[in-house]
């Protein structure tokens, strides 16, 4: 049987197909664990005993860095024996890449402490264990949050892995629920490129809602030069269906697609 390695959230791993990844969730089983790992290609679920998975090895210490420096002991014997035996000084152990770090420190300037704290907080949120707690709740603005919206958001994140159909009655906040899911994924660093497809009459409304509630700056397709290069894009269904724009959108890769009035997407030929 494959020897089980005990993984923890925050561990770095190497996968034979996906390369280097970061463990963001660990779910225990009887003989193995189920891991959720963020790779460059996206979030993957793998077992802890998968033959292509292994923990990322730490950098080996160089022989020169680990070899202790020696000096002659003083005659009074305070740092060694009186017969002149060599005594060992404590040394700082450095990895092979330490010289690069030291060179950067000498060049300066160092980052602002506030920037460092903000970056550290972002990294901690990105590896937050599972979806037990919603990070987006404290990040949403100008929103009256309801428990049923939180439940809907958690179900999409936990059970549907981000793929869900929101079918609440009119006025119950489907837009807010979709925005919560989007914000949660973006806070965790799992989503960067987003396409929102909506009826033409709602494009500006969606742009304003996502700005006011999520502090996200979406670009309207066709309203700005090189709009197709924007990582956050809102496009009307009619605009997306034109021959020119259809090919442009289909040739791009998006981490998340949100569709308002999804009943208009009758089959795979709609776009």
pLDDT at residue 243 in the model: 82
Per-residue pLDDT for the chain (271 aa), expressed as one digit of tens each?
Answer: 445 688 888 888 998 888 888 888 888 777 778 888 888 888 888 888 888 888 887 654 434 444 444 444 444 444 444 455 555 555 556 566 566 766 766 776 667 777 777 777 666 665 555 677 788 888 888 888 788 888 888 888 888 878 888 877 777 788 899 999 999 988 888 899 999 999 999 999 999 999 999 999 999 987 667 777 889 999 998 888 888 888 888 888 899 999 987 766 666 666 5
Whether the Cβ atoms of residue 221 and residue 240 lie closer than 8 Å to each other: yes
Domain coordinates of the chain in residue numbers? 12-55, 129-191, 192-271
Q: Residue 230 — φ and ψ, nearest 5°?
A: -70, 135
The CA distance from 22 to 184, in Å, is: 18
Fold of 192-271: Rossmann fold (3.40.50)
- pTM reported for the whole predicted model: 0.52
Listed residue (49, 51, 48, 43) closest to 22, CA to CA: 43
Listed residue (182, 205, 203, 206) closest to 194, CA to CA: 182
pLDDT at residue 16 in the model: 87
Beta bridge partners of 86: 72
């Amino acid at each position: 049987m494959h020897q089980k390695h005990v993984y923890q959230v925050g561990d770095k791993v190497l996968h034979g197909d996906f390369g280097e990844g970061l463990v963001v969730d660990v779910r225990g089983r009887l003989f193995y664990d189920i891991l959720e790992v963020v790779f460059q290609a996206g979030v993957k679920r793998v077992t802890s005993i998968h033959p292509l998975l292994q923990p990322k090895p730490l950098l080996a210490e160089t022989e020169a860095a680990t070899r202790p420096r020696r000096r002659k002991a003083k005659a009074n014997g305070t740092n060694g024996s009186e017969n002149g035996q060599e005594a060992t000084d404590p040394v700082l152990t450095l990895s092979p890449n330490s010289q690069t770090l030291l060179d950067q420190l000498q060049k300066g300037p160092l980052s602002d402490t506030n920037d460092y704290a903000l970056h550290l907080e972002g990294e901690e949120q990105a590896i937050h264990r599972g979806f037990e707690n919603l990070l987006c709740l404290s990040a949403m603005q100008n929103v009256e949050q309801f428990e049923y919206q939180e439940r809907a958001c958690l179900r999409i994140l936990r059970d549907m892995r981000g793929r869900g159909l929101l079918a609440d009655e009119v006025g119950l906040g489907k837009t807010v629920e979709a925005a919560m899911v989007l914000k949660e994924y973006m806070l965790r660093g799992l989503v960067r490129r987003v396409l929102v497809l909506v009826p033409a009459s709602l494009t500006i409304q969606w742009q304003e809602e996502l700005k006011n509630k999520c502090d996200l700056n979406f670009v309207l397709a066709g309203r700005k030069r090189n709009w197709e290069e924007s990582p956050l894009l809102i496009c009307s269904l009619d605009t997306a269906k034109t021959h020119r724009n259809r090919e442009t959108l289909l040739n791009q890769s998006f981490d998340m697609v949100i569709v308002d009035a999804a009943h208009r997407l009758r089959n795979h030929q709609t776009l």
